[in-house]
Structure 1
């Protein structure tokens, strides 16, 4: 490399380093070439594509307006969202759609919540369980009992057990009683907590006494509460 070329390379390097150190927001020009544009011209938007965060913001806005919409408008919006849900590939967007649709007391919204219980993403199914619990009613109980007994994901089954407690529906007693026989201690604790909610009874954390109650047998006298039971009852 000639001395002249070396000097030009050094000068160019100095320009780049000084520009980066100064946080320069101006367009860097070398001769007639633009090396980078001003920061104000940089955008994360792709023409024709709405960024996910903007879609989520829009969905949350709809959720906040849902209850104040006239009935006809609720039907229209929820039907449109239901159609979009069927085509949505992003599970995070599907989650937000579910939370939004849960604010609409319409059949299209309920239909999507039912569909979501078989979503390929277990996180979506977990949220669907939570939303059904808040929705309540006979349909909610039936859907959640199905998930509790059949879903392949332990997290979804736990969410279903919790949501059944939230419904407060005594019709869930039998299904929750069956969950007491699950080998997972976390499920047993969750079932006990939900049984308290749907029955109004309290046999502490004694799974055997709860089993007896669910079977229609008189529960045995309470055992002294162990430290382990006290810890479990905290959750």
Structure 2
């Protein structure tokens, strides 16, 4: 009904414009000069009023809200609106008990499967990292194989947030299997940010990559994991990664001598 009224309003407004212009033109051509002057003033005022009504009608609050409601009913929420709604639901769920969180996570599984916008899927992964239950973990695992680069990167970040040896495993697999260099670089970066020594073997593999960008990122991540700065020479880090325990012993002896002398 509201759509019909809106269309009728605009139709009547167009008719009003045509009639007004026609009548004004006839009066202007048929009356004396003094009357023509007054008619010109009236015509100008009418034009201003007509333009105001035509231009402002679409920005009136009640019309805007009606149009938004019509579009929502017809097309559903847009991506930004869906992200906002998901964040609100996640915030509410965090305040509930474990069963509430599990139910919300199960709903997110359906959302993830049905969602066509990669930005929304990336947001779902970000939210899932906060919930420790099978449904959320399943989403984080599946997100690593998403067809969109943006979503796979978001999945890497989700595992960084989750942490632990399991995160090292999934990030290592993503580095080894992904064909997109941006995803591979992101996986290496997140492995370093984990600060878990279990990541050293895969970072050592990254040192052997033919891409200098991958090597450089691996060096930076090894610095984070080891807590040391052996410079940026790849060969030095290869030696260190081959036997971190030996380097640890040599470092300790050198540190003792430094303190003595």
- Cα deviation 1:161-212 (Å, max 9, x = unaligned): 0111122221111110110122222211211121122233331212111001
The equivalent position to 2:226 in structure 1, one of 199, 202, 213, is 199
Equivalence for 1:31: none
Q: Secondary structure at the match of 1:104?
A: coil
Equivalence for 1:104: 131
Q: Does the aligned pair in 2 maintain the 1:162–1:190 contact within 8 Å?
A: yes
Measured after TM superposition, the shift of residue 65 of structure 1 is 3.8
Which of the pair has more CA radius of gyration?
A: 2
The change in CA–CA distance for 1:211 and 1:36 in structure 2 (over 3 A counts) is same
The change in CA–CA distance for 1:18 and 1:110 in structure 2 (over 3 A counts) is same
| Alignment TM-score, normalising by the size of structure 2 | 0.69
4+ residue runs over 6 A deviation: 13-17
**Gapped regions of structure 1 (runs ≥ 5):** 29-34, 220-235
Q: Does the aligned pair in 2 maintain the 1:66–1:104 contact within 8 Å?
A: no
The change in CA–CA distance for 1:122 and 1:15 in structure 2 (over 3 A counts) is farther
Equivalence for 1:230: none
| Alignment TM-score, normalising by the size of structure 1 | 0.76
**Gapped regions of structure 2 (runs ≥ 5):** 1-21, 27-39, 248-261
Residue 141, structure 1, aligned to residue 168, structure 2: yes
Structure with more of its chain in helix, by fraction: 2
Equivalent residues, number: 205
Residue 153, structure 1, aligned to residue 180, structure 2: yes
RMSD: 3.0
The change in CA–CA distance for 1:18 and 1:163 in structure 2 (over 3 A counts) is same
